[in-house]
Structure 1
């Protein structure tokens, strides 16, 4: 054996040991700041069951196991929220840091801590002690990412837990993006034209199935704000690029940030099923855990970096959630004093001085960078954080900055998540709740993200209550920039969503939510960000079929890949496409036969699903791109639910102006656009598959999912860090949500980030994550649940407070002397 081979082998052994040194070892005992002996058991999937004598010891141990399995993931989340990524990854993260310093999640967390209840403080302190005990006792056994980036974790702080929660709220807040897209459309095509691009529906089904009323009413507009919006177009576009860069850097690459959740009454009790949809990646966003003490027995999904269980069950009830899709952000145009740029015109009409804050961005291997942030009484000047001064860093081509615009106007914002709240207290009360009224009471301190919280009780009750707040808006259009100098346009306060009422034990026997519209009433205004009603329709239709619902039925439903949206869309398009057969060749006619036979099941082995997906992509492009242009089209379609819902509405208006190709002299309509899109779709799909035989165009070949690690972009690390690609079915309009970007098909960007099913008559809970418990790529539990997730399998977890024989003792904490 040559010396070179020996060195390679030795290096490989060293690398494996380095990358696996933080793996938990069976039966480790150590002294710790606990009141009495606290034990951590794990099953064959590494899922921990913590048994502690007190709740404080319980949350201490939760912090410890979170750090043991996901410390680097936790550290990245808090660094993102604090705007401190550049310290460890270098200049590439400066944009993120500057943006996050302006959003000021650290300041929000400090304010939350000041107003936090005694219970919240106690929980966060215990959890923080657990995280820091792990960091302190394992400085030489940290996850490999710390060594790779040559840094170590700083002590965890209670505020870090709150920052992690606000980062999640930011990911679920789509209005940060859509309002800027609409503002760009207003600047380009005029304020009145924006209504062509905002969907009005969907209609039923509703989360709160109340009496129908009129649809959303357009808000008033301000002509001065409209003119200023047009003048601000380059700055708005720059801010849009910044938010896009931030979301991409953070792995927030999809827009269908929602969930499915339903609770069903059964003969013996009730069943709850929950599967939130978030951007795909490794390690998973969720962490399975079982927490048991004499006063607490809860099992389910937790968020690394936060205590308690987010979706799960106790001995009396189960709970899950979905995104309400609230429009929780508004941007405001601020008028700068023309005589002195240090002043602006406040909403009271007075000339008011900006407040300035100098901040320091520490950059790895480089000198620090000083930034100056301006603030009004409303917020930081968010338009200051784009890179119009160095546009080549954000744009594919150089763009010239219009310097005069920065001296006449600027943008601020309001976000519901900036307001003081106590989500930790709310979640604690839910974890301890024994009945539905206790859950309704618990959500009173919850502000963001806004959630539909559904409950299934052992008594057989099922119910839904909304958690979160919405703005009490003034007279400005909530989709567009509001005039900051007009007091009538500003927010007047907040309305808690639980005041809208609850849904309890409906006659149909179930409650459900799938990011569909909350209720049919126009007031109060909740938003227009809802997902197409397709998933909600399919869930409700399926639930009506069962007489005695079981866990197995719920498991099958969570993997369902039938799209009512696709069936409804094709029902309107197929007659048009059949009329165009004189323009088709043999391949187009054969593809049309397949499409006509297709039943809307987006299976990996179905060519009809491929043809439909390509047709939909071309139809949306040909309808919207000619008016918007390529870049604004990308911005508009980033939140996929917007063009999907608008497209479905436009199919009922075949002569709508958007079907007219603005680049031609004649007037086109839906029929012209549909046939053109179909021909393009068939030919593009043939090119992709390198085959003119449509029956060979299997959807799974086209539509795949890859789970990337943050280090997975490196070609040498990709095979170890990333998992996939895997063929997968579904789309954003199926219960098994597998969203791709409309403007960049067909790789999956969003999928079920976990699945959990709780039968309140059963002694086990069923759950699965797309990965595993561990965040370490060479750990056996890094991806050991992934194949289960892909194939509809689950990990069976007992709910009893005492671990059964499937669990093995891993860690014992004894009180420090």
Structure 2
């Protein structure tokens, strides 16, 4: 027995020792790629010495003797901190994820190959002017110099993830940066999904009910449209969703296609006497953040702000002369065309002048641990042909037809990156607007400030449509009818533009910006109908604004939506509850209503009311639409306040949604509101406990900065994911868009990964922040150091003074040219 015990002790001790050695080994290998910020490197590709001065928060300030050397330095810094992220973005754009992840990413790769983004980026290199091409080549050389440094100095493959996925890294090319801009356009363009959903809804509901569930943004209406079933009588009626929205998929559900805030005040509305600008672009959260802070000292002056690794551009930021911010413009720049196949030859499709052959080529997808797959890519005159499993197109494509996509980003002469580079060098609003003419996609509202002026301009190509277009681009249309096809682009001068407004305030929350009839309408679908009202109130409550009041607006968590909907939905429920025993449904309902009656709509993480309200409205919309839409109800992940308001105001008979069509009883809207509240209270009790007063919005509304690949791996996820209790919600200015599905529907998954506020009376008092940290290395203290500041609504200084950067430097990386 003693012998057995001794052997067991030896085995257990050995296993513990091996585990400890394994942990030490993993730490050693991973730590090899931790940066030494005070290193010096001799590199090929620069003409003079380059300095990368990293301040206290690891923000690189890049100095060089020429613009090319500065772009080289930015590429070097991006690769140092975010190499894994850059390679993943490039693989996504190329449709090469399956080389790392096997068959689970095959559908994503197929979709990206069919969209053809990377080959179009390669073609677009030839369309760049000499200065843009020089910047792209210098940036690429900087990235590749770091790859060479990693290899020669044995720096742990450059990122710990690359020990797990050890495929070779190809040198960076100018086309890679252009492809990432196109990938960004895909992430920020949601018109395609809206078209498909409207078509699916049109197949099961009468037109008046479609107007309820997919309401137009309040404003001037449009002429009536044909029903989708009339255009395509053989299209499927009910079909399950075919989309897999995995973390690696750049396409996310409807409602996640991008949002942002930007506002500006002219000197007449600024307490400091200089123009003010605030900007917070919204994208999906990740660890590390998609955003990376940087400063470049160009020949035209310093520029500082938010970049995306892989793209050598300050996308939102300022120079000494100009500040700029971006918001998604929601331009209707995508159309789906249903192409009719030739019954005699499926290799041809119908055009206005007869049948023509598809333009085709083959593409081979390499798959880890599986045989390669060859797919046939097809193009029509309208664009690439997509299969039915992408974007749920199978649900709206009749037999004997295929779906093709027209999209402005599918340009082989895309000069968007050149426009962004010119914007960084612009010294005036007029020069910035002129630079925007070269921008193709994604369409953005560009908010601009000089020290004494403000402006806003929509940049991006806007399709020209025929006034006789059958669907006006609102849902898929027959591709063989000439009047449905695009007629080129609208002139840039017709894009919305606002210069020096009389009131001295400009802003955008993805709201409707212009009220034009089709085809000059810009869009029928906008990203916000609610936040804009809260913004208007905050702006008009003050005669003059300060940097602090702009920060206060960025961090505002009061929901106009809650304030507007609760009195409407609960008008027959307030204070009507009778006495009931503790623990009963009636008692919990009374407690909830009493709390909501005293609530001001603030979506504060420490309060119970936001969780009760959010759960109630979610349950309410589900009860309203589930019986009419069946499986299609799952496509509505977030409440639509305009829809709920239409129902409870009985606009155009919309209260019909309150009646459950499968029951013999006729339910009223008050009945449904009461039942939905009970649903919500049961859910909160089962999920968070029975004490209503102890509920906490932040427990449900955690920001999920998850590692895109390792975030679901047991044990590792605890080291690479960043979770934070947060305030805000779907419709607050401090927007924290909820997941909308699954067991944790209120997780905060999409919001302001970057915030900047610039005061041109005192530019060095400008501030900024990102949602995680500068480094993509989980062992670095800069992996999450900015995240806690971001959660608390704090910022870090933003100075273009080289002396300040050097005074607070954590380290200086010196790049010397090789002889």
TM-score, normalisation: structure 1 = 0.91
Q: CA deviation at 1:94?
A: 0.7
Q: CA deviation at 1:563?
A: 0.7
SS in 1 for 2:549: helix
Instruction: Decide whether the 8 Å contact of 1:765 with 1:799 is kept in 2.
Output: no
Deviations 1:645-702 (A, max 9, x none): 32233332264232332212344343332222222222322232221x4222222223
For the pair 1:648 / 2:645, whether they are aligned, the reply is yes
Q: 2: distance between equivalents of 1:548 and 1:405?
A: 54
Which residue of structure 2 lines up, in the alignment, with residue 398 of structure 1? none
Which residue of structure 2 lines up, in the alignment, with residue 481 of structure 1? 476
Matches within 5 A, 1:533-552: 533-552=529-548
Which residue of structure 2 lines up, in the alignment, with residue 209 of structure 1? none
Which residue of structure 1 lines up, in the alignment, with residue 6 of structure 2? none
Deviations 1:50-107 (A, max 9, x none): 0111111111111111111111111111111110110111111111110100011012
* Residue in structure 2 matching 1:186, options 202, 225, 242: 202
Instruction: Decide whether the 8 Å contact of 2:34 with 2:779 is kept in 1.
Output: no
Q: CA deviation at 1:502?
A: 2.1
Q: 1:9 to 1:688 in 2, by over 3 A?
A: closer
Q: 1: distance between equivalents of 2:228 and 2:669?
A: 33
Matches within 5 A, 1:288-303: 288-303=293-308
Matches within 5 A, 1:89-100: 89-100=101-112
Deviations 1:105-130 (A, max 9, x none): 01221232222222221111111111
* Residue in structure 2 matching 1:696, options 686, 694, 700: 694
Q: 2: distance between equivalents of 1:347 and 1:197?
A: 34
* Residue in structure 2 matching 1:336, options 327, 333, 341: 341
Q: 2: distance between equivalents of 1:358 and 1:116?
A: 28
SS in 1 for 2:349: strand
Which residue of structure 2 lines up, in the alignment, with residue 351 of structure 1? 355
Q: 2: distance between equivalents of 1:117 and 1:247?
A: 36
For the pair 1:31 / 2:42, whether they are aligned, the reply is yes
SS in 1 for 2:346: coil
Matches within 5 A, 1:785-796: 785-796=786-797
For the pair 1:166 / 2:167, whether they are aligned, the reply is no
Which residue of structure 1 lines up, in the alignment, with residue 722 of structure 2? 723
Which residue of structure 2 lines up, in the alignment, with residue 685 of structure 1? 684
Q: Which moved more, 1:82-91 or 1:370-379?
A: 370-379
Q: 1:385 to 1:800 in 2, by over 3 A?
A: same
Q: CA deviation at 1:256?
A: 5.9
Q: CA deviation at 1:193?
A: 5.1
Which residue of structure 1 lines up, in the alignment, with residue 231 of structure 2? 225
SS in 1 for 2:383: coil
Q: 1:27 to 1:727 in 2, by over 3 A?
A: closer
SS in 1 for 2:757: strand
Q: 1:778 to 1:498 in 2, by over 3 A?
A: farther
Q: CA deviation at 1:623?
A: 1.4
Deviations 1:19-70 (A, max 9, x none): 2222221332222311111111101211100011111111111111111111
Q: 1: distance between equivalents of 2:391 and 2:446?
A: 39
Structure 2 gaps, min length 5: 1-9
Q: 2: distance between equivalents of 1:180 and 1:248?
A: 22
Q: 2: distance between equivalents of 1:173 and 1:566?
A: 28
Q: 1: distance between equivalents of 2:781 and 2:491?
A: 44
Which residue of structure 1 lines up, in the alignment, with residue 159 of structure 2? 143
**Coordinate RMSD, CA, aligned:** 2.5
Matches within 5 A, 1:256-275: 257-265=258-266, 266=270, 267-275=272-280
Which residue of structure 1 lines up, in the alignment, with residue 91 of structure 2? 79
Q: CA deviation at 1:295?
A: 2.8
Q: Which moved more, 1:93-102 or 1:175-184?
A: 175-184
Q: CA deviation at 1:571?
A: 2.4
Matches within 5 A, 1:189-268: 189=205, 194-203=210-219, 214-220=220-226, 225-230=231-236, 234=239, 241-242=242-243, 244-245=244-245, 249-250=249-250, 252=252, 255=256, 257-265=258-266, 266=270, 267-268=272-273
Q: 1:26 to 1:688 in 2, by over 3 A?
A: closer
Deviations 1:386-436 (A, max 9, x none): 599xxxxx9xxxxxx99x988611111111211333112211121111111
Which residue of structure 2 lines up, in the alignment, with residue 21 of structure 1? 32
Which residue of structure 1 lines up, in the alignment, with residue 382 of structure 2? 378
Which residue of structure 1 lines up, in the alignment, with residue 130 of structure 2? 118
Which residue of structure 1 lines up, in the alignment, with residue 57 of structure 2? 45
Which residue of structure 2 lines up, in the alignment, with residue 63 of structure 1? 75
Deviations 1:232-280 (A, max 9, x none): x65xx5xx523x4367634847616210111123242112111111111
Which residue of structure 2 lines up, in the alignment, with residue 464 of structure 1? 456
Q: CA deviation at 1:188?
A: 3.2
* Residue in structure 1 matching 2:507, options 504, 512, 518: 512
Instruction: Decide whether the 8 Å contact of 1:425 with 1:445 is kept in 2.
Output: yes
SS in 2 for 1:342: strand
For the pair 1:663 / 2:665, whether they are aligned, the reply is no
Q: CA deviation at 1:223?
A: 6.3
Which residue of structure 1 lines up, in the alignment, with residue 629 of structure 2? 628
Instruction: Decide whether the 8 Å contact of 2:386 with 2:403 is kept in 1.
Output: yes
Instruction: Decide whether the 8 Å contact of 1:202 with 1:530 is kept in 2.
Output: no
SS in 2 for 1:188: coil
SS in 2 for 1:138: helix
Matches within 5 A, 1:682-761: 682-691=681-690, 693-710=691-708, 711-724=710-723, 726-744=724-742, 745-761=745-761
Q: 1: distance between equivalents of 2:462 and 2:657?
A: 32
Q: 2: distance between equivalents of 1:241 and 1:331?
A: 17
Instruction: Decide whether the 8 Å contact of 2:203 with 2:229 is kept in 1.
Output: no
For the pair 1:560 / 2:556, whether they are aligned, the reply is yes
Q: Which moved more, 1:1-10 or 1:253-262?
A: 1-10
SS in 1 for 2:232: helix
Structure 1 gaps, min length 5: 204-213, 389-393, 395-400
Q: 2: distance between equivalents of 1:219 and 1:252?
A: 28
For the pair 1:811 / 2:808, whether they are aligned, the reply is no
Q: Which moved more, 1:440-449 or 1:547-556?
A: 547-556
Deviations 1:515-544 (A, max 9, x none): 111112234132233233322222221122
Q: 1: distance between equivalents of 2:211 and 2:112?
A: 31
Q: CA deviation at 1:175?
A: 1.6
* Residue in structure 2 matching 1:522, options 497, 501, 517: 517
* Residue in structure 2 matching 1:427, options 391, 407, 420: 420
Q: CA deviation at 1:505?
A: 2.5
Q: Which moved more, 1:182-191 or 1:518-527?
A: 182-191
SS in 1 for 2:434: helix
Q: 1:694 to 1:791 in 2, by over 3 A?
A: same
Deviations 1:301-358 (A, max 9, x none): 011100020000001111101111222221111111122222221133x021223322
Instruction: Decide whether the 8 Å contact of 1:444 with 1:496 is kept in 2.
Output: no
Instruction: Decide whether the 8 Å contact of 1:798 with 1:804 is kept in 2.
Output: no
SS in 2 for 1:414: strand
Q: 2: distance between equivalents of 1:247 and 1:494?
A: 34
Q: Which moved more, 1:544-553 or 1:121-130?
A: 544-553
SS in 2 for 1:127: helix
Q: 2: distance between equivalents of 1:356 and 1:162?
A: 24
